[in-house]
Amino acid sequence: MPISPRNLTLSLPIVLVLFSASLSAQASHNTAQAKPCTDDQQKQFDFWIGEWDLTWPGANAGEVDHGTNTIQRVMDGCVVQESFSGGDSMHLRGMSVSTYVPQSNAWKQTWVDNEGGYLDLVGGYKDGQMILSRESKTPAGTAIHMRMVFKNISKNEFDWSWEKSIDDGKSWQVVWPIHYKRKS
């Protein structure tokens, strides 16, 4: 069907309205996305950002093992990325990504490592501690709860512990305590 001047005259205002609405919607979307991840909860992991020297009890009494951890914000500040090294003390190398999910009102973290490990944890900051946890099963099928606890938090150091519970969270056993000290 050929376009007549009359059809063009009738169509042009409709095209202009649609184009204007599209530009307005795109501008609104760009404005809304200009400052993502700015909720106060997004700052709850700021204490962890930085370069850290780590210490934990060695295999033998009186020994202290050492490692490092580098934590930074990536993805326009929306993701907290961890890069762990067990140094000369252990073979373990790993990384995690954490983000605050407003719809869940929770932090979610995914950990992977050079030993084929994968963990997904969920939690939040409460009463001066950041606690992320998960449920799992032992090879025998017994339910086990695991969590990491960031505590005694100050500007230049804090304590972290990996803990497990086999009684549905009624009691917790520290499996791996680590002391973080900020590199100078």
- Whether residue 2 is found in the same domain as residue 86: no
Let me know whether 67 and 13 are in one domain.
Answer: no
pTM: predicted TM-score of the whole model, two decimal places: 0.80
Residue 47 is part of which domain span? Answer: 40-182
Supply the mean pLDDT for the chain.
88
Give the residue among 87, 96, 94, 95 at the shortest CA–CA distance from 58. 87
Please enumerate in sequence order all residues whose Cβ is within 8 A of that of 83, keeping only pairs 6 or more positions apart, or say none.
69, 70, 71, 95
Q: Is the pLDDT of residue 18 over 50?
A: no
What tens digit of pLDDT does each residue of 50-98 get?
999 999 999 999 999 999 999 999 999 999 999 999 999 999 999 999 9
CATH number of the domain to which 51 belongs: 2.40.128.20
CA 56 to chain centre: 23
Listing DSSP states for 126-178 in one string gives ETTEEEEEEEEE-TT--EEEEEEEEES--SSEEEEEEEEESSTTSS-EEEEEE
Same-domain check for residues 10 and 80: no
Domain tally, the chain? 2
Check whether residue 98 and residue 174 sit in a common domain. Answer: yes
Q: Is residue 78 located within the same domain as residue 130?
A: yes
| DSSP label at residue 75 | T
Residues 48 and 20 in one domain: no
Q: Is the pLDDT of residue 20 over 70?
A: no
What amino acid is encoded at 42 in this protein? Q
| 60 and 92 belong to one structural domain | yes
CB 67 within 8 A of CB 54: yes
Q: Which amino acid is at 148?
A: M
Structural element, H or E, at residue 107: strand 106-113
DSSP string, 11-55: HHHHHHHHHHHHHHHHHHHHHHHSS-S-SGGGGTTGGG-EEEEEE
Task: Note the pLDDT tens digit of each residue in 109-167.
Answer: 999 999 999 999 999 999 999 999 999 988 899 999 999 999 999 999 999 999 999 99
Could you give the angle at the alpha carbon of 165 between the alpha carbons of 94 and 113, nearest 5°?
10
Q: 127 and 54, same structural domain?
A: yes
